[in-house]
Amino acid sequence: MKILVGYKRVVDYNVRIQVQPDSSGVVTDGVKLAPNPFDEIALEEALRLREQGLANEVIVAAIGPANMQSHLRNGLAMGADRAIHVSTEQAVQPLTVARILLKLVAQEQPGLVILGKQAIDDDSSQTGQMLAALWDRPQATFASQLSIADGKATVVREVDAGLETLEVDLPAVITTDLRLNEPRFIKLPNIMKAKSKPIDTIELSSLGVESGDHLQAIRYHPPQARQKGVMVKDVAELVEALKAKGLL
Amino acid sequence: MSKILIIAEHLNGHLNPATGKCVSCATAIGGEIHVLVLGNAPDAPAAEAAKLAGVTKIISVARSENEHALAAVFAPQIVALAAGYSHLLTPSSTFGKDLLPRVAALLGVAQISDIMAVDGPYTFQRPIYAGNALVTIEAPPEQTVLGTVRTASWPGAASGSSAASIESASPEITLPSHTRFINLQQGKSDRPDLQSAAKVVSGGRALGSAENFKLIYQFADALGAGVGASRAAVDAGYVPNEMQVGQTGKIIAPELYIAIGISGAIQHLTGIKDAGTIVAINKDPEAPIFEVADFGLVGDLFKIVPELTAAVC
Ligand SMILES: Cc1cc2nc3c(=O)[nH]c(=O)nc-3n(C[C@H](O)[C@H](O)[C@H](O)COP(=O)(O)OP(=O)(O)OC[C@H]3O[C@@H](n4cnc5c(N)ncnc54)[C@H](O)[C@@H]3O)c2cc1C
Ligand SMILES: Cc1cc2nc3c(=O)[nH]c(=O)nc-3n(C[C@H](O)[C@H](O)[C@H](O)COP(=O)(O)OP(=O)(O)OC[C@H]3O[C@@H](n4cnc5c(N)ncnc54)[C@H](O)[C@@H]3O)c2cc1C
């Protein structure tokens, strides 16, 4: 079984993002970029399935600009067998990403697709569900546990009410939650090895994907900042303050 | 004029309050508001939905396959009933986040996630980058607008006086059997629900163990508050996942939020931006949580929390 993993490059989660003074976007020039944390978890899960003998090939796929080679090398150094880079200089919205991934699915015929539950830049949480719909296959989102046997996946999902377990027939789309696993660190020798692994670059325009970029961002703005409050010296003062506000 | 269909979220025969928040968002969009209730026994939640102010019609679909909210099962039924609607809304809970993108892809339209404000029937504000930036989005008027509603940004619709008509529908479609519900492990708790509680007390990594977390529960019970936690506390196994507050947990807006032994990482703060009053208790005077706290108290939680519990009892 092949596993296809979404491997998006995003602004590192430690970066405090700023809105451009002219409201045209957020400042991304010179900020640290990193793999989407949920996609590292997706890749880790795929690698573990391969190590258990349940998969024989792990492919990472990223859609984005030409300068993503080193990002993809990261995924290869972590352990993916090969990478597919769908190259485009334009930002693509989730429906378009899902349509692109569907093309890759048709080409690669994976038994499992693992994506992040959300990308931490746009926080859309849509792509996996959209891909599953277009592919007409099951989805199991927000996974915190995954086991595979007899052509089926059993997935524990983190839902608002608690933990839900689903059983889905393969092929299927799984999206990862934070507690699925802890991604491994990349070892130095593997960085060397990754240099000889293949990256297949495909121009987005050559895939014949109908754009699903229907939404238009018209303005970006900073959120209303909370005012820094006051420090109280002890419990008695805190209780007084809350009583004065009618909260106790 | 807009015609809006809200997909109801319900569990164990009860309508989730998030549905009422979608009604408030729909009211801001303006137009006729209908609610779709899919279930194996949808009558009780349908009757609750019929009482929400502003709703004029309930469409109820009873079908054994609808016993559990499976996106692959619900989505084709919603698509079959979506004709004629200008907007489809769900709460941006795990239910809505799982379901609505599947509907969007089948309809071939985009989805707007986490609507926090409505500037017009096709213009919406939503948070990105863990809420560190907001973006105003315009959707094309010629397409159905699909949106999940960020519940912390909206009040619940009033319930009681009105009574919308309830119609049943039975779209003739075969549903997939490739996705099967096995079980739901629900934390049992008599405490106020984290997402709708007026007061919430949260504990972080500093608690150190599940045993020590009892301090948080005791204080919360004295206050009549719901209980939340940071990701670090959940990861360490002190409390179950459904208690996580933040970017990847629950986004909440209580009147009072008390963060105890929580440093205030951006991802945690995302979950509490809309809280009325934030109180922080932390032994480190430099902890970032104090930047957003209305009241801060520096000190050892193991000393402060029992004192507080005694003071509010
Ligand atoms: C109106 C609008 C305007 C935008 N304008 C800009 C802009 O000007 N500049 C800009 O940089 N961004 C822009 N974006 C954001 C960018 O296009 C988002 O990356 C896109 O919307 C996808 O959302 P997401 O990554 O949050 O998807 P999610 O659904 O949250 O992603 C879930 C998972 O899907 C997979 N995935 C998603 N995208 C990729 C990818 N590219 N490669 C591989 N796997 C992927 C990953 O596994 C990921 O974990 C805009 C978005 C919108 C809606
Ligand atoms: C993609 C991603 C998503 C994330 N999503 C979330 C999310 O949804 N929610 C979330 O919470 N986090 C999330 N995180 C994690 C977040 O970055 C922080 O790691 C986490 O919030 C830290 O939890 P904490 O404050 O309990 O622990 P710490 O940061 O370790 O803070 C513990 C605090 O306790 C204080 N302390 C220690 N002992 C005492 C004492 N005796 N008395 C008083 N104070 C004491 C310390 O001074 C410290 O400030 C996410 C991270 C990533 C990368």
Q: What are the tokens at A61?
A: 């796929």
Smallest Cβ–Cβ distance between A229 and the set B102, B248, B293 belongs to: B293
Q: What is the pLDDT of residues B229-243, one digit of tens each?
A: 999 999 999 999 999
Asked whether this chain's domains B3-168 and B199-312 adopt the same fold, the reply is: yes
Strand-strand pairing, A152-159 and A162-169: antiparallel
CB contact at 8 A, B167 and B57: yes
- CA dist., res. A170 & res. A167, Å (int): 10
What is the three-class DSSP state of A242?
helix
Is B139's CB within 8 Å of A215's CB?
Answer: yes
Residues of B in contact with A240 (CB under 8 A): none
CB contact at 8 A, A163 and B184: yes
Q: What is the pTM of this model?
A: 0.94
**Which pLDDT does position B163 carry in this prediction?**
86
| Secondary structure E strands in chain B | 3-7, 10-11, 14-15, 32-39, 55-62, 87-91, 111-115, 117-120, 123-128, 133-138, 145-149, 165-168, 179-186, 199-203, 226-229, 256-260, 277-282, 295-298
In chain B, what percentage of residues exceed pLDDT 70? Answer: 100
Q: What is the pLDDT of residues A90-109, one digit of tens each?
A: 999 999 999 999 999 999 99
Residues of A in contact with B235 (CB under 8 A): 178-179
Which residues approach ligand 1 with their CB closer than 6 A?
Answer: A 6-8, 25, 36, 38-39, 61-64, 91-94, 97, 115-116, 118-119, 121-128, 215-217; B 137
Domain boundaries, chain B: 3-168, 199-312
- CA dist., res. B255 & res. A68, Å (int): 45
CB contact at 8 A, A106 and A2: no
ipTM summary value: 0.95
**Which pLDDT does position A201 carry in this prediction?**
97
Report the pLDDT averaged over residues A155-174. Answer: 97
What is the three-class DSSP state of B48?
helix
Is residue B160 very low, low, confident or very high in pLDDT (cuts 50, 70, 90)? confident
**Which pLDDT does position B189 carry in this prediction?**
81
Residues 37 through 96 of chain A touching chain B, CB cutoff 8 Å: 93-95
Is A120's CB within 8 Å of B130's CB?
Answer: yes
Q: Who contacts B249 (Cβ-Cβ below 8 Å, separation ≥6)? A: B231, B234, B241, B243, B271
Task: Please give the mean pLDDT across all residues of chain B.
Answer: 96
What's domain B199-312's superfamily in CATH? TPP-binding domain (3.40.50.1220)
Q: What is the pLDDT of residues B109-129, one digit of tens each?
A: 999 999 999 999 999 999 999
**Which pLDDT does position A226 carry in this prediction?**
86
Q: What is the pLDDT of residues A108-161, one digit of tens each?
A: 999 999 999 999 998 999 999 999 999 999 999 999 999 999 999 999 999 999
Nearest to A218 by CA among B299, B135, B227, B54: B135
Question: From the CA of B239, which ligand is nearest?
Answer: 2
What top-level class would CATH report for the domain B3-168? alpha beta
Q: What is the pLDDT of residues A202-215, one digit of tens each?
A: 999 999 999 999 99
Q: What are the tokens at B234?
A: 């959940």
CA A114 to ligand 1: nearest atom: 47
* Cα R_g (chain A), whole angstroms: 21
CB contact at 8 A, A171 and A113: yes
Amino acid letter at A188?
L
**Which pLDDT does position B51 carry in this prediction?**
97
Residues of A in contact with B112 (CB under 8 A): 215
Residues of B in contact with A212 (CB under 8 A): 108, 110
CA B112 to ligand 1: nearest atom: 53
Is residue B313 very low, low, confident or very high in pLDDT (cuts 50, 70, 90)? confident
Q: Who contacts A121 (Cβ-Cβ below 8 Å, separation ≥6)? A: A10, A11, A36, B128, B129
Report the pLDDT averaged over residues A185-211. Answer: 96
Is B101's CB within 8 Å of A126's CB?
Answer: yes
- CA dist., res. B159 & res. B69, Å (int): 24
